[in-house]
Amino acid sequence: MKKMLLALCFVSAVLACATPPQDSSNPMDINAALQFVSSEIATHLPEGAKIAVLNVAGAPTEALANYMLNEIVDVLVSTGKFTLLDRDKTNKAMINTEIGYQQITGEVNEDNQVRIGENLGAQIIITCMLEDIGDYYRIRLRSLEIQGRKMIAARSVNMKSTDKVLARALEFAALIPGKPEIPALSYSKTGFSNTRYLNISWKKAPKATAYYVYIAESPVQPLNPTLTEKNTSCKVEVREKRKQYIWIQATNSTGGSPLSEMAISNPNY
């Protein structure tokens, strides 16, 4: 009887010393928060699923977005239960689905999420959102089954606004140029051959020292800019009766801004 009582006391002591489960309402540092929310999501995902982790909407920099994405992937891989699709392939799929690598920190609508997943051959896509709540940040992780567009699981966790990784990202983000507004478009014809030109102009973006101009004949952002301009306008020769898609990105020595909204010339063609 004494041995049984001693055994029960030992078990009780072990349980009392055990680490209590994390409370998602209490702000954590970024690594603990990502570990918590990713582990929670993993418990709801079917074993053997092909998973693509897409983006972190609301992240102040791409570097922080990629850091968070890699941490989420590492947690899911560590379970040994899923097939995680390559990040490079995921980024390329985002580019080929009118999203663009620069938009990795932007919100992606469900239609585009599904298209990206289909391009990758994924069965489940995971997206993340970082929200500034005031006294802390909120990380929201969601998983969507592509077939049937069924939401499998969603989990949220609070993150300390004083987290060092976040603080460095916010300091860096303050140096990055602001997002340009959608460019204005017009046409002109000059020269003996009556050549047609597309005139592109935009407002100056805060902290910008130059601008990348992306021009394509399909709604897919080119990998490399068509032009680099120090002023806020340019003129390019274009073909008659062809639709052009245009994006502007502000740059400086720190890095590049998010892309402007896409402008479309000749929308009726």
Span 3-52, pLDDT tens digits: 444 443 443 443 344 333 455 568 899 999 999 999 999 999 999 999 99
DSSP secondary structure, 58-95, as one string: T-SSHHHHHHHHHHHHHHHHHTTS-EEPPHHHHHHHHH
* Domain shared by 30 and 162, yes or no: yes
Assess whether 34 and 162 both reside in one domain: yes
Rounded distance between C-alpha atoms, residue 96 and residue 204, angstroms: 28
Kindly report the CATH number assigned to the domain that includes residue 94: 3.40.50.10610
Q: Pick from 152, 173, 194: which residue ends a domain?
A: 173
Q: Are 193 and 222 spatial neighbours (Cβ–Cβ below 8 Å)?
A: no
Q: Are residues 165 and 223 in the same domain?
A: no
**pLDDT at site 6:** 42
Same domain, 161 and 199: no
Give the residue from 173, 199, 220 where a domain finishes.
173
User: Is residue 99 scored above 60 in pLDDT?
Assistant: no
Residue 128 lies in a domain: yes
Domain shared by 38 and 71, yes or no: yes
Put simply, whether the predicted model's pTM sits higher than 0.75 gets the answer no
pLDDT digits (tens, 9 = 90+) for 160-195: 999 999 999 989 889 999 989 999 999 888 766 667
When mean pLDDT is compared across 6-10, 31-35, 100-104, 259-263, the lowest value belongs to 6-10
Does 178 fall in a domain? no
User: 50 and 123 in contact (C-beta within 8 Å)?
Assistant: yes
Q: Residue 203: which of 162, 149, 261 has the closest Cα? A: 261
Least confident of 147-151, 189-193, 249-253: 189-193
Question: Reading across the β-sheet that carries 195-201, which strands appear in turn?
Answer: 184-190, 195-201, 233-237
Q: At which of 125, 150, 173 does a domain end?
A: 173
Q: What is the mean pLDDT of residues 246-250?
A: 95
For residue 5, what is the enclosing H or E element?
Answer: helix 2-17
Q: Do residue 28 and residue 112 come from a single domain?
A: yes
More confident residue, 88 or 224: 224
pLDDT at 141 over 70: yes
Same domain, 74 and 195: no
DSSP state letter for 150: E
Over the stretch 77-98, which tens digit does the pLDDT of each residue have? 999 999 998 766 666 556 555 5
Whether 253 is in a domain gets the answer yes
* pLDDT value, residue 103: 55
**Residue 236, in any domain of the structure:** yes
Per the prediction, the chain carries an average pLDDT of: 83
pLDDT at position 112, please? 79
User: Does residue 97 sit in helix, strand or coil?
Assistant: coil
Taking 70 as the threshold, does the pLDDT of residue 267 lie above it? no
pLDDT of the residue at 18: 39
Residue 2: per-residue pLDDT: 46
Strands 227-229 and 210-216: antiparallel
pLDDT confidence of residue 14: 39
* pLDDT of 245: 93
Same domain, 37 and 115: yes
Nearest to 72 by CA among 9, 30, 119, 117: 30
DSSP state for residue 103 in the 8-state scheme? G
The alpha carbon of 86 is separated from its chain's Cα centroid by a whole number of angstroms, namely 15
Highest mean pLDDT out of 98-102, 137-141, 257-261: 137-141
The two tokens of residue 252 are: 């400086």
Query: How many structural domains compose the chain?
Result: 2
97 shares its domain with 36:
yes
Residue 133 resides in a domain: yes
Supply the range of the domain harboring residue 169: 22-173
Residue 216 and residue 120 in one domain = no
Measured between alpha carbons, how far is 115 from 242 in angstroms, rounded to an integer? 26
Average pLDDT over residues 244-263: 91
Distance, CA of 241 to CA of 187 (rounded, Å): 12
- In a shared domain, residues 84 and 138: yes
> How many CA atoms lie within 13 Å of 145's alpha carbon, on the beta-carbon side?
10
Q: Is residue 50 in a domain?
A: yes
So what's the pLDDT on residue 17?
42
State the pLDDT at residue 13: 43
Q: Is 3 part of a structural domain of the chain? A: no
User: Which of the two residues, 5 and 222, has the higher pLDDT score?
Assistant: 222
Q: Is 47 within the bounds of a domain?
A: yes
Query: 157 and 204 share a domain?
Result: no
Which CATH number do you get for residue 204?
2.60.40.10
